[in-house]
Amino acid sequence: MPRKLVLPLFIILLMITGCVYYNTFFNAEKYFEEANTIALKDDGTPTANAIQKYNKIIQKCGVVLTDYKDSKYADDALFLMAKCFYYIGRNHTQAIKNFEELIEFYPESAFLPEAMIYIARSKYDFKQKEEAYKLLHDFLLLDKYKEYHPQALQLLANYYLEEEDYVQTDFYLQKLIEKYPKAKEYETAFFLKGKAQYDAGNYKNSNNIFVSLLKSKVSRNIKYDARYYMALNFLLMEDFQNSVDYADNLLKKEYRESEIAKIRILQARGLAELGNTEEAITILQAVTQDNQRSKLAADAFFYLGEIYFNILLDYQSAIDNYNKVKTVFNKSELIEQALTKSAVASQIIQFHNPSSNIDAEQLVNQQFKLAEFYIETLNMPDSALMVYDIVITQKTDLIKQLDSLEAAAINLEFRIDSLKTINDSLQLELSIDTLKTTSDSLQLELSIDSLKTISDSLQLELSIDSLKTLSDSLQIEEIETQPDTMKTTKEKQKSVVTLVQLQSEYNSVNLKIENQIRNLKQYDSEFIPYAKFVKLWMFKTILNDSTKVQNIFNDLQENYPGNKYTFAASSLLEGKEVELTTPLHIKELEDYQLAIEHFENDPSTSVELLLPIAQNDEHEFSKKAMYSLGYVHYFLLADSLSARPFLDSLLTIENNDFISSIYKFYDGTFFIKINQLPALKLQIEKEKEQEEALKEQEEQKEQKELEKSEEPQKSENNEEKSKPVKP
């Protein structure tokens, strides 16, 4: 090759290689830096935006490895691709494979030691913890990678801290601090040493370490993180003023938005303990508004619940806030405590105020939620059993409360009857006094008129003064009778007021009694059988205790023979599919279905079968049967007179599912004329109609002249929607 061509070809080759880097790999590295700066979600996973960037990097690295596999950037691309798979967190197997390929095919690559550490990290995240520990320990024996040993030591410390092995954590952190004071991992290790003591509950030791850290040369972020934990340590040591002071000081310096909310929560907790609950509540509510549906919001709601529960004793507000913890962030580590406290608060309210807004169903649902959390999330069946036992024994407390309420009602009834007797007596006395006063008044008028008559007839010149004197003397007699009447009236008024108050109290107690009776019925029919059924299921499927399974089943059969949960327990023990129903429910369903099968072909028979169902208030399908009877009589038998009583009865029952449908053809007085009978057809006929409708639509599409008919068709569809539903 001529010498003149060598240089141009070399330049062209260099340009091509350069394009690989600048057009492909350079952009990949840029995306990686951007993706790594995006904060993780509250659950520790990358955001959708970050994942999108990682996927772009993988594509670009794939181009390099495919089209330029002999390029000097091939190992860079493979390493970057493997890191992307690792950080996406969904395919640890692929990440490990790429890191291992780097070690195998590029043994001279500068990325080998990092690749080895990443393999250990991937193994640990992939739940292969023992392999991860071994890889890291073996790596620490390789002197040629000594500059990477601080990374391995920090990882080991992190993993042991996660496993709550504080001795091993402290060992590896101390080793890193002593041997590698100039390593970039040094300050993180120093911080973790203090945090490990916090995690172990050694708050004073933790603060001592952080004080030393603040005196050393570490970054601003590490110092701020240390101050946060110092404030938290003071709070947990109940040195609330120091905790608030540290939090206040830190808020003036902290610039990271993600950390400010954490500090504000800590500040509010300290203020609440110091008695500044109003300010604390304001701070926490602001955090929930500024960080909606996040871990921070869940934390804030939890500590709001704590303030209302522990300090203000406002249990309803405590429940409201505790229940929001799981709603706003269902992976919060505070959910268990929130559910527990919510259940306790419900029990406190129910115990002290049986007529409160928290009825038995709300109370027990709180307890059931807690029990389910113990089973499904925490794998603590014994704790769940304890909760179910509490539900079962609560009935005894309700009975005692009912007895007390009934005794109070009897006492109030006696006092009311006594007051009514006194009132009757006062009314009699008042009537006599009134009659006497009226008589005296009439007598006075009669005397004056008589005197005038006598004077006129006898032509006596009686002076006005004489008449006035006589009148005054009579008036004195009237006034003398007045005090007794006024006294009786006041006593009557006072007695009436007392009677009204007692009657109001009596009515209130009666409402509580009704509520308690309703609660007891729910316990007997629903809560206790359900609690016993779940206990039976746990002893059978989780705890494998056949003796207790049999004891609970015998109890259900003896005390709740017709209950749906007894029937479900029987199915469970027989190995059948568990359905929460009863033999009675199945029989009632079969009876109703048999009746409506005759709608089209023999409506009279349908009426005969539906009548006994409609007349039985205890039948589960009683209301359905009433609606069906009204429907069949009016639409199929054209007998509006017979339809009317069934429809009228349904319209008098509040909150039933048929009212809106009835009003489409009957307003309670008159039947509304409709153009077409509602569809009362069997399922097979419905399907046939649908097929015909589809064919018709296809024909309409082929015929352009029918395009103008769309509006009438819409009108027809709207009319169809207003028709009553099939029972």
What pLDDT digit, counting tens, does each position of 55-92 carry? 999 998 898 888 877 788 889 999 999 999 999 987 88
Per residue in 317-337, pLDDT (tens digit) is 999 999 999 999 988 999 988
Range name among 245-254, 351-360, 374-383, 511-520 with the lowest pLDDT average: 351-360
Is the Cα dihedral 643, 645, 646, 648 positive or negative?
positive
**What sections of 216-239 are H helices per DSSP?**
220-236
Query: Is the pLDDT reported for residue 390 higher than 60?
Result: yes
- Is the separation of the CB atoms in 328 and 338 below 8 Å? no
Boundary (domain end) residue, out of 484, 519, 547: 547
Summarize pLDDT for 191-226 with one digit per residue, the tens.
999 999 999 899 999 999 999 999 988 899 999 999
State the average pLDDT over residues 514-530: 88
- 657 vs 627, 654, 665, CA distance in Å? 10, 9, 15
Check: CB of residue 267 under 8 Å from CB of residue 276.
no
Q: Is the dihedral of CA 481, 482, 488, 489 positive or negative?
A: positive
Residue 356 pLDDT level (bands cut at 50, 70, 90): low
Q: Which amino acid is at 546?
A: S
The contacts of residue 250 (CB under 8 Å, 6+ apart) are 224, 227, 228, 231, 263
User: 112: pLDDT confidence band, cut at 50, 70 and 90?
Assistant: very high
619-635 average pLDDT score: 87
Residue 408, amino acid: A
pLDDT band at 259 (very low <50, low <70, confident <90, very high): very high
Tell me: the pLDDT tens digits for 473-494? Answer: 444 344 444 555 555 566 656 6
Answer whether residue 715 is part of any domain: yes
CATH code of 484's domain: 1.10.287
Q: Tens digits of per-residue pLDDT, 679-727?
A: 443 444 455 555 666 666 666 666 655 555 544 444 444 444 334 444 5
pLDDT at 478: 43
Say yes or no to pLDDT of 144 above 90.
yes
Contact 402, 520 (CB under 8 A): yes
Q: Which residue would you say has higher pLDDT here, 44 or 188?
A: 188
> Is 533 among the domain residues?
yes
Domain assignment present for residue 392? The answer is yes
Give the per-residue pLDDT at 603: 86
**Is pTM, for the whole model, over 0.85?**
no
Residue 476 lies in a domain: yes
DSSP notation for 303-345 = HHHHIIIIIS--HHHHHHHHHHHHHH-TT-TTHHHHHHHHHHH
Amino acid 533: pLDDT:
92
In a domain, 20, yes or no: no
pLDDT at 662: 86
The token pair that represents 275 in the structure block: 């008695």
Residue 704, in any domain of the structure: yes
Q: What percent of the chain has pLDDT over 70?
A: 75
Max mean pLDDT range (111-115, 496-500, 519-523, 611-615): 111-115
What pLDDT does residue 84 have?
Answer: 94
Residues shown for the chain: 727
Cα-Cα-Cα-Cα dihedral of 39, 45, 51, 54, to 10°? 80
Structural domain that includes position 458? 382-547
pLDDT digits (tens, 9 = 90+) for 230-250: 999 999 999 999 999 999 999
Position 464 scores a pLDDT of 42
Structural domain includes residue 322: no
Mean pLDDT of 445-469: 45
pLDDT at residue 675, rounded to an integer: 44
Q: What is the DSSP string of 163-210?
A: TT-HHHHHHHHHHHHHH-TTSTTHHHHHHHHHHHHHHTT-HHHHHHHH
Q: Report the domain count for the chain.
A: 2
Q: Which residues of 15-33 are buried (b: 16+ CB within 10 A; e: fewer)?
A: eeeeebbeebbeebbebbe
Last residue of a domain, one of 518, 547, 576: 547
Give 582-608 pLDDT, tens digit per residue.
Answer: 555 556 777 888 888 887 788 888 899
Angle made by CA atoms 586, 592, 595, in degrees to the nearest 5: 140
User: In which band, very low, low, confident or very high, does the pLDDT at 412 lie, cut at 50, 70 and 90?
Assistant: confident
Could you count the other beta carbons within 10 Å of the beta carbon of residue 371? 27
Give residue 254's pLDDT band: very low, low, confident or very high (50, 70, 90).
Answer: very high
Q: Of the residues 487, 521, 547, which one is the last residue of a structural domain?
A: 547
Asked whether residue 564 is assigned to any structural domain, the reply reads no
